[in-house]
Amino acid sequence: MSDRINTEQLAEKLKKSLLPIEFNRQKELYKWLNHQRFLEDEKCQKVMKDIIEKKSKGEDIESLYQVLVAHRRKRDIYATEEKEVLEK
């Protein structure tokens, strides 16, 4: 009986000791996701400038538009993941 109580107490202590590690892991994940979202946003802005330039010259922008859509998707994925990390 006392072994079971000691085991339960030990398990509880382990859970409490792991909380700071998990918190730091979540914090680092949030920072990384935020940085990745920022990078994708910069890429979107650059591609949009290129699209405006090509459009003003009358050139085809279809391939650039596809690149823009891909970067927007990535940015949205990072933003969604970032939001989920915050909610935890």
Domain limits of the chain? Answer: 2-87
Amino acid at residue number 77:
I
pLDDT given at position 87? 80
Q: Whose CA is closest to 72, among 39, 50, 49?
A: 39
State pLDDT tens for residues 13-51: 656 666 677 778 888 899 999 999 999 999 999 999 999
Task: Name the pTM for this structure.
Answer: 0.71
Q: Region of 59 please: left (phi>0), alpha (psi -120 to 50) or beta.
A: beta
Residue the block writes with tokens 């730091």: 24
73 contacts 40 by C-beta, under 8 angstroms: no
State pLDDT tens for residues 54-69: 999 999 999 999 999 9
